[in-house]
Chains A and B, each alone.
Chain A
Amino acid sequence: MTPPVRRPLRERPPDVADAPLNGIIWAMPRGTSEVSEPMFFVLAALRAGPLHGHAISKSIKELSSGRVQPSVGTLYGILERLNERGVITVDREETVNGRNRRYFRITDEGRTLVEAEARRMQEAASLVLRPIT
């Protein structure tokens, strides 16, 4: 497997010059432009709309074809961190079976971040997948 491509600090990639995401991703310190895989899948799951914990867990499993299945403790740790950093937020709360249930929603910042990450991975993949001339 090809290691991920790391870019120098604050250098904007020439082929994504029109991307509105550079403010977030390319201004970050060297080597920190990736979100972790479970975080990426959480953000990807929430792009479809607000979801509660169990639905996020199921969505991650589907999106990753069963490869990524964080435990509930890990998932909620990720949700709390993403919430603290403002990339997701609590959309609403419901009570089901007498228990509280939070629905999480991705914020504009989170959407920008996950799209930038997808673009970065796409660039990295294209280095390997494009025909060699």
Chain B
Amino acid sequence: MTATMPQPMTSLERRYRRLLRAYPRQYRAAHGDELVDVLLESAGPGRNVPVPKEAWGLLVGGVRSRIVHLATGSAWEDGLHLGITAVAAANLAALLPYAGAVPLWTLLSALALLAVLRGRLTVAFPLTLVAGVKAVAVAGGWQMFEPTLMPVYPSVLTGRALFQDSSPFAVAFGYAVVLLGLLVLMSRRRETPRIRSWWWPAAVVAVAWAGPSWMEEGSWYPLSLSRLATEAAAFGLAVAGCYLARDHRWALASGIYLLVRSIELSMNADSLTRQHLAYWGVLAVLALGAASVPFRRRRHCLD
């Protein structure tokens, strides 16, 4: 093995290393220096700004590498875990604007999501069960554990009361999907679920926020643009993941989430507008896209 002394970092190297953050941490640790070496050797003398083609190649290569890195292990177990993570995040997002009024139940729901994110299934199950029972009780107007009843008025994130446009069945369905998914995953026990990204809490806030408004004033079941954008972006990433990795795990997760949203929308069938249908249509098309792209024809035998 040949070894020579490392040289001081130039501004070009610093910029290339910043771009290399697109790659997974493990890949960067193993091969980041090697890529930087090739990038610096390829760069012309006196250059201190990355070549645009190289910068784009690193970003695309990094995203691809991240997706391929995620497509390991059992696809259906990982997809199920991802799906219940998304539904648990939506369950928390429904409670988050009312954290001031129902702090204990919001905290339990947040802890349940945290346990799901960290792959602690046995911890997540009782937390989800208790938070779910209380949420269903509040939605149904039944007293359970403590005297909180509807209406529960909100904070800054939304102007509507808790579960004003939902039904006990839709709330119960959301929690039941998470509980059922946790039971299935716990019964398998083949591998510990993947630890999920810290971006999920940010998605919860975006879904919980009721603005910007894009529906008509006085709409019975308003959907926020922030929710639509977050969900469409997540489903779009699912399509990209399924396309690049030829793997169905993200399609399964999208399908689970879409099922829960469809039930919730169907509970408000009388007051749905074209905008609601467009919203559902966007998610359905993206979910179908995610399910179909892994079957795309291989252009090359090494694809």
Contact = CB atoms under 8 A, between A and B. Distances in A.
A100 B34 contact: yes
Contacts of A81: 302
A34 to B, nearest CB: 6
Contacts of A97: 4-7, 37
A99 interface: yes
A41 to B, nearest CB: 13
A45 interface: no
A102 B34 contact: yes
How would you classify the secondary structure of chain A's contact residues: helix, strand, loop or mixed? mixed
Contacts of B3: 95
Interface residues of A, number: 39
Nearest to B58: A73
A36 B299 contact: yes
Given A72-B54, A73-B58, A35 B38 contact: no
Nearest to B64: A77
B61 A76 contact: yes
Interface in B289-303: 297-303
Contacts, number: 109
B214 interface: no
Contact of A72 (B57, B65, B300): B57
Contact of A71 (B6, B31, B57): B57
A36 B42 contact: no
B58 A72 contact: yes
A36 B303 CA distance: 8
B302 A29 contact: no
A3 interface: no
B61 A74 contact: yes
Interface of A: 25, 28-29, 31-36, 39, 52-54, 57, 70-77, 80-82, 85, 87, 92-102, 113
Interface of B: 1-7, 31, 33-39, 41-42, 53-54, 56-62, 64-65, 297-303
Those 3 A-B pairs whose CB atoms lie nearest each other, nearest first: A98-B6, A71-B57, A73-B61
